[in-house]
Amino acid sequence: MECQLPIITFMSVSCIVLAAGASRRLGHPKQLVSLGGQTLVEHSIRQAQEAGIQHPIVVLGAHATVIRTVIESTFGASVSILENEQWEKGLSASIRVGISYAMKQRDCCGVLLITCDQPYVTADHLCALIDRFRSSQRKRIVASLYGETRGIPAIFPHTSFPALLALEGDKGARHLLAEDASPAVIRFEAAALDIDTPGDEAKLAARPAAEKVR
C-alpha cells in the first residue's frame, strides 16, 4: 500500500491518532473494541503506517495504561504515545497535545488527524488525502466528506496550527472544516460510522471482519 508520492520527504506529514476518550456511552474503552483480530486503536495506527506514515502519534487519556500496553506490544517504538492529562476537558485538549508535539518535528508541513473509532477508514483513503494535500502544494485543508459532513480523517497545513491550538472544550477539528470556505474534499461514506454506543458496536460485530471499504 503506497501513496503516489513518498510520505517522508523534505516536508513531511505527521499523523495524530486521537484516542483519549472515556467511552462513557459505550461502557468500556472503544479503543480496545475488536475488529478482525485487532483493536480499533491498532487498526487506526496500522492504516496510517500502511499509508506511509512511519511514526504515528497517538494521544491517550482515559484508560491510558492498558491502551498503552496494547499499542507497545504491537508496535514497539514505531509509535509516539502521548498522554493528555486534561482529556476530560474534551477533544480539543487532545488536539492541542498532538499539534504541540508535531510542531517540534523537523520539516512538518501538515498533520493528518484521525480517530480510533472509525473502523472502516482505510490506508487507501488516507493515501488519497495525502496525495491531494501534496497536489495543493501543502497549503489547503483536505477533508473527508460523508453525506453533507466535512470531517476527519483530514489533513491540516501548518498554517492551520494556530487555529487548532486555539480550540476549546469538546469542539473538534470539524468546527474548522465547517468554517473553511473552500477545503478540498474526498468523498468516503464509510467514515460516517464511528463507535459511540453499544448499538454501533453491534453493527460492527455483525459486519464481516474481512469486508473492506475502498
- Angle in degrees, 0-180, between the axes of helices 40-50 and 123-135, rounded to the nearest 10: 40
Mean pLDDT, each 10-residue run in order, the chain (214 residues): 47 92 93 93 96 95 97 97 94 95 90 95 96 89 93 94 90 78 88 91 72 42
**Nearest C-alpha neighbor of 75 from the set 48, 46, 116:** 46
For residue 5, the model assigns a pLDDT of 44
Residue 43 grid cell:
487498526
**Nearest C-alpha neighbor of 143 from the set 158, 159, 128, 123:** 128
For residue 67, the model assigns a pLDDT of 98
CB-based burial label for 112 (10 Å; 0-12, 13-18, 19+): buried
For residue 156, the model assigns a pLDDT of 95
Q: Which fold has domain 12-203?
A: Spore Coat Polysaccharide Biosynthesis Protein SpsA; Chain A (3.90.550)
C-alpha span between 101 and 6 (Å, rounded):
22
For residue 209, the model assigns a pLDDT of 46
For residue 3, the model assigns a pLDDT of 61
Please tell me the pTM assigned to this model.
0.91
Supply the Cα-derived Rg of the chain in whole angstroms.
16
Task: Tell the residue number behind the cell numbers 491517550, with chain if given.
Answer: 60
